[in-house]
């Protein structure tokens, strides 16, 4: 199983908990165990679980309360009850409340394994259905890029200008900024919008698998190749191919891709005859591809082939005016998906979000709002519904500026300005925070022209 299902085990007998944890970890699940019901409720507040395996009879908080909390926070979660006091009425009660299965003690570990595996399969199917529904919503209408930022508006205008030209485009930006969404937007506003769009993560596959996925293979090309298989490039003919994390492609694959871009044809694995196709190629990377080229980790000729037009998507910290707009978009999206009436984000939460640096960019913001909607009891997301690290910490992220690393002096200026702001302009307090005397701070303020700071 590629996905490590998240499993919470709640069992008040220490030996039984230890045995269950050992068995489930051997099954490659991401296992969290606890000996008490109250602690289980706290864990559920902090982290989403796919399957909960809980004892029924426990002090203070019993398995039914754990079941109810699990379902309230995460409707897709499946709960398996374990009890030494098995009875038909208790089984019926828990099943009515949404339990997936009911196992009596003493239990057979194989039965528990099968129950957990079956429950996780059900969870994954529900999540896949949700994802498919979202994709259908996306493609029934326009590909939606939510922004009011001037830099993003310029990028969208550039996308609309180049969309009909069929030129290759290189999209750069940090992870989570929305590079694939931009690629889909380019496809949608192009003349190829009615043809297929395929996205391939070049870093997720080995060289052999990537070659087979992109170019396909002939019958008998290798053991198990019982029939001809068309690759993604061939299947996408007339449409658009998006190659994500292009810098993770091996040197040998870079050569094959370069030949395809030059000749507009390729040879299937195990074949000898070239296959001609008409595909527009969009590529993306979260790395500094120019630097990778300079270090000879990425072919220069391939870089120039891909980089006919370059589009750099700024991190969310550089377009903070988009944060409230994105918050409202994700709030509506997840309130609808979870069938909850969560309509607002409290001013305190919004203030935290607008001032947060978002190292995970838009993807991180989306996860925060999704969690907030899941945890909200009423119609408003409050600070209690935020992740603990966001409530307690302020994360400052160091990023390149215009493709280069900022100097130590630039970082010092930025940090002094921030401390002065945090200190409300009180230079004595700021100097104390910085660990220098007030005169030294005064000299730095004068040196860097921050007298008005």
Share of the chain above pLDDT 90, in %: 40
Residue 7 has pLDDT above 90, yes or no: yes
Give the ranges where 194-297 is alpha helix by DSSP (H).
207-215, 232-235, 251-263, 289-294
Where does a domain end: 255, 279, 312?
Answer: 312
Does residue 294 sit in the same domain as residue 320? no
- pLDDT band at 312, cuts 50/70/90? very high
**Would you say residue 136 lies in a domain?**
no
Instruction: Calculate mean pLDDT across residues 396-403.
Output: 52
- Contacting residues for 108 by C-beta, under 8 A, at least 6 apart: none
Instruction: Calculate mean pLDDT across residues 433-453.
Output: 78
- The pLDDT score that the predictor gives to residue 98 is 82
- Give the whole-angstrom CA distance, residue 271 versus residue 275: 10
Expressed as residue numbers, the domain containing 351 is 316-392
Residue 132 has pLDDT above 60, yes or no: no
- The pLDDT score that the predictor gives to residue 87 is 61
Does residue 356 sit in the same domain as residue 290? no
- The pLDDT score that the predictor gives to residue 393 is 46
Kindly report which listed range (31-35, 124-128, 241-245, 437-441) carries the lowest average pLDDT score.
124-128
Mean pLDDT over each residue of the chain, to the nearest integer: 85
Does residue 155 sit in the same domain as residue 287? yes
- Contacting residues for 131 by C-beta, under 8 A, at least 6 apart: none
Instruction: Calculate mean pLDDT across residues 288-309.
Output: 92
Where does a domain end: 73, 102, 131?
Answer: 131
- pLDDT band at 241, cuts 50/70/90? very high
pLDDT single digits (tens) 43-66: 988 888 999 999 888 888 888 889
Residue 141 has pLDDT above 70, yes or no: no
- pLDDT band at 453, cuts 50/70/90? very low
**Would you say residue 58 lies in a domain?**
yes
Does residue 306 sit in the same domain as residue 380? no
- Give the whole-angstrom CA distance, residue 439 versus residue 419: 16
pTM to 2 decimal places: 0.58
Nearest residue to 33 via CA among 12, 50, 58, 61: 12
- The pLDDT score that the predictor gives to residue 428 is 81
**Would you say residue 137 lies in a domain?**
no
Number of domains in the chain: 4
pLDDT single digits (tens) 89-108: 666 677 777 888 888 878 88
Instruction: Calculate mean pLDDT across residues 197-221.
Output: 91
Residue 137 has pLDDT above 60, yes or no: no
Kindly report which listed range (18-27, 229-238, 398-407, 435-444) carries the lowest average pLDDT score.
398-407
- DSSP letter string, 219-244: TTSSTT--S-EE-HHHHTTTSEEEEE
Q: In the beta sheet, which residues pair with residue 10?
A: 34, 54
Does residue 306 sit in the same domain as residue 375? no
- The pLDDT score that the predictor gives to residue 136 is 44
- Give the whole-angstrom CA distance, residue 428 versus residue 438: 6
- The pairing of beta strand 309-312 with beta strand 197-201: unpaired
CATH number of the domain where residue 284 is located: 3.40.50.300
- The pLDDT score that the predictor gives to residue 140 is 43
Residue 252 has pLDDT above 90, yes or no: yes
Does residue 366 sit in the same domain as residue 412? no
DSSP designation for 201: E
Q: If residue 345 lies in a helix (H) or strand (E), which one and from where to where?
A: strand 344-345
- pLDDT band at 394, cuts 50/70/90? very low
**Would you say residue 422 lies in a domain?**
yes
């Amino acid at each position: 199983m590629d996905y490590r299902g998240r499993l919470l085990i709640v069992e008040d007998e220490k030996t039984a908990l230890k045995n269950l944890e050992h068995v489930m970890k051997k099954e490659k699940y991401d296992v969290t165990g606890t000996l008490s019901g109250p602690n289980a409720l706290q864990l559920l507040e902090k982290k989403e679980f796919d399957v909960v395996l809980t004892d029924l009879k426990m002090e203070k908080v019993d398995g039914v309360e754990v079941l109810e909390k699990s379902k309230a926070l995460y409707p897709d979660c499946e709960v398996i009850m374990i009890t030494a006091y098995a009875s038909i009425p208790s089984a019926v009660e828990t099943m009515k409340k949404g339990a997936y299965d009911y196992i009596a003690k003493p239990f057979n570990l194989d039965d528990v394994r099968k129950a957990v595996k079956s429950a996780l399969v059900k969870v994954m199917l529900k999540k896949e259905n949700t994802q498919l529904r979202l994709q259908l919503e996306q493609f029934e209408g326009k590909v939606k890029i939510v922004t009011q930022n001037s830099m993003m508006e310029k990028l969208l205008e550039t996308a609309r200008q180049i969309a009909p030209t069929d030129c290759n485009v290189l999209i750069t930006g940090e992870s989570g900024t929305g590079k694939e969404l931009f690629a889909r937007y380019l496809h949608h506003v192009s003349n190829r919008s009615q043809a297929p769009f395929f996205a391939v993560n070049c870093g997720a596959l080995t060289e052999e698998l990537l070659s087979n996925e992109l170019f396909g293979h002939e019958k008998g090309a290798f053991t198990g190749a019982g029939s001809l298989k068309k690759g993604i490039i061939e299947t996408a003919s007339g449409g658009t191919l998006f190659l994500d994390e292009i810098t993770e492609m091996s040197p040998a694959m870079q050569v094959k891709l370069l030949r395809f871009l030059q000749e507009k044809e390729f040879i299937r694995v195990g074949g000898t005859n070239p296959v001609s196709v008409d595909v527009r190629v969009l590529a993306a990377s979260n790395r500094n591809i120019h630097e990778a080229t300079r270090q000879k980790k990425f072919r220069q000729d391939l870089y120039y082939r891909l980089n006919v037009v370059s589009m750099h998507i700024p991190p969310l910290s550089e377009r903070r005016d988009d944060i409230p707009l994105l918050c409202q978009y994700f709030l509506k999206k997840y309130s609808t998906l979870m069938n909850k009436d969560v309509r607002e984000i409290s001013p305190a939460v919004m203030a935290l979000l607008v001032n947060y640096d978002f190292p995970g960019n838009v993807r991180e913001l989306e996860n925060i709002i999704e969690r907030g909607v899941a945890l909200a009891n009423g119609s408003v997301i409050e600070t209690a519904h935020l992740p603990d690290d966001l409530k307690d910490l302020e994360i400052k992220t160091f990023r390149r500026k215009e493709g280069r690393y900022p100097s130590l002096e630039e970082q010092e200026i930025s940090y002094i300005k921030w401390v002065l702001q945090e200190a409300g302009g009180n230079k004595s307090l700021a100097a104390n925070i910085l660990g220098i005397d007030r005169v030294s701070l005064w000299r730095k303020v004068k040196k860097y022209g921050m007298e008005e700071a």
